[in-house]
Amino acid sequence: MVFSKLKEARNSERRSRRLDLLAEPPEAGHELFVGFSSLRDTLSSRHHSRDFAFAHARYLRSRVLALGIIFAILSPLWIVVDALVLPTAVLKYTLIGRVVLMLGLVAVLLLALFSQERIRRIRFCAGMLLALPAAFYTLVLVMLPPGELHNLVGYGFIPFLLVASLSVFPFTLLESLFAGIALLALQVFSQVVDGSWLTGHGAEAFWLLSSLLAVAMAANHFQLSLLLRLYRQATHDPLTGLFNRGALEVHLAKIQAWQRDTEGLDSAGSVPCSLLMLDLDNFKQINDTFGHSVGDGVLSQFADVLIRQTRKHDCTARYGGEEFVVLLLGSGQARAMEIAERIRFAVEAFEFLDRNRRRIPVTTSIGVTQLMQDEPAQEAPKRADEALYRAKHAGRNRVMPAESFPA
């Protein structure tokens, strides 16, 4: 009797522990694994999307400007410290170096200021921000008479300061490693010059710098993976993995700006772009008949069909509810009508299945329009929506061109 009660109590404890586990969000308790699983994305920028590269550039640029301003203010202030500490013969060398450094920092700041979202240029600016103080340090080491090096109070910290600065930037691991190795080489050079290379003191400093580099790279990894995760949450629909409406509108405005910029560059004029607005037919009925979760499954399978039917550089987004948008870059209205018809047919032919492998009949209506580069970004979706409305009224499962698009 007592034993059976004990057994029952133990079973109920086990049951409640299992329920607790179920209630835990899937990623909790596996943070370390989640952190390492994103290593591929933080190692290099090879797998980053073009849109993320723009966001990354904006973020990196803000860091370059902030750190550049700090360096540009601190560097002339150090002249005062030099004047108090260094003998006149040494001061002459450091002053020349500082003037060159200041000019370089101002040039980098101006370049970053006018580079906006150009990731390569911003990367170059970030690299120069680290290279300039390193070059200044090298210059002083080379120019100074050997007997005067002990006067350079605090200068030996420059490689350490620069390695620590790596953690401020959302660099990829390879970028940080490359910069870190260059700074370790600078440390070796300074040790050779001051005679501490291959001494206990030199090894200690080298070890410390390497440890600092490892910590900076860990900071880079977590900073960049957080940035990637936030970017994804802000721009993608969690159910289908497609772009969300906000990201689509940004993309649309960018395409129009690009069309304006490229107009007249060659005899063909600007590259055309068309917009398809797609809506699942009688989707409420699917939800009512099969349940909301099956409806969710249909939406994500529909998104897969769209991805398969479009090219890599086309932009596919979930506009809201059961409405989707596809931007077809390089396609005018006539070509877009053909592609829309192909998509409509592919959806009709696709086997959407519920959990019991019963077939769910799914069709889509599509409104088609071509973008005009001088109109506000919301106009094309509005035109395509009107065409979609007419497609619904004409009986659904059909493609309709926008009426107001000028030929």
Ligand X SMILES: Nc1nc2c(ncn2[C@@H]2O[C@H](COP(=O)(O)OP(=O)(O)OP(=O)(O)O)[C@@H](O)[C@H]2O)c(=O)[nH]1
**Contacts (Cβ under 8 Å, ≥6 apart) of 331:** 272, 273, 274, 339
- Binds ligand X (CB under 6 A): choice among 175, 279, 314, 385: 279
Nearest-CA neighbor of 92 among 156, 144, 146, 151?
144
Q: Are 346 and 305 in contact (CB under 8 A)?
A: yes
Which of these segments, 110-118, 262-270, 293-301, 302-310, binds ligand X (CB under 6 A)? 293-301
CB of 387 to ligand X, least distance (A): 14
Which of these segments, 26-34, 150-158, 211-219, 294-302, binds ligand X (CB under 6 A)? 294-302
Backbone angles phi, psi at 383, to 5 degrees: -65, -45
Which of these segments, 186-194, 292-300, 332-340, 367-375, binds ligand X (CB under 6 A)? 292-300
Query: Measured from the CB atom, is 280 or 326 closer to ligand X?
Result: 280
- Binds ligand X (CB under 6 A): choice among 38, 138, 262, 287: 287
Which of these segments, 69-77, 120-128, 251-259, 289-297, binds ligand X (CB under 6 A)? 289-297
CB of 341 to ligand X, least distance (A): 18
Query: Measured from the CB atom, is 382 or 392 closer to ligand X?
Result: 392
Q: What does the block give as tokens for 133?
A: 């103080």
- Binds ligand X (CB under 6 A): choice among 82, 175, 314, 322: 322
User: Rounded distance, CA 244 to CA 405, Å?
Assistant: 25
Q: Is 295 in the site for ligand X (CB under 6 A)?
A: yes
**In one letter, which amino acid is 122?**
I
Alpha helices in 44-118 (DSSP H): 50-85, 88-113
Task: Build a one-symbol-per-residue string for 204-243: x at contacts with ligand X by CB under 6 A, - elsewhere.
Answer: -----------------------------------x----
Query: Measured from the CB atom, is 236 or 396 closer to ligand X?
Result: 396
Query: Measured from the CB atom, is 175 or 279 closer to ligand X?
Result: 279
CB of 318 to ligand X, least distance (A): 9
Q: Say what the alpha-carbon torsion angle 334, 337, 341, 346 is, to the nearest 10 degrees.
A: 100
Q: Is 281 in the site for ligand X (CB under 6 A)?
A: yes
Q: Is 400 in the site for ligand X (CB under 6 A)?
A: no
Q: What does the block give as tokens for 147?
A: 């007997």
SS3 state at 401: strand
Q: Is 385 in the site for ligand X (CB under 6 A)?
A: no
Sign of CA dihedral 65, 218, 40, 315: negative
SS3 state at 63: helix
How many residues form the binding site for ligand X (CB under 6 A)? 17
Query: Measured from the CB atom, is 97 or 295 closer to ligand X?
Result: 295
User: Rounded distance, CA 319 to CA 104, Å?
Assistant: 47
Element (H, E) at 231: helix 200-235
Nearest-CA neighbor of 278 among 248, 221, 319?
319
Contacts (CB under 6 A) with ligand X, residues 363-382: none
User: Rounded distance, CA 57 to CA 181, Å?
Assistant: 23
Query: Measured from the CB atom, is 292 or 311 closer to ligand X?
Result: 292
How is residue 272 annotated by DSSP? P
- Binds ligand X (CB under 6 A): choice among 236, 390, 392, 398: 392
Chain contacts with ligand X (rule: CB under 6 A): 239, 279-285, 287, 292, 295-296, 299, 321-322, 392, 396
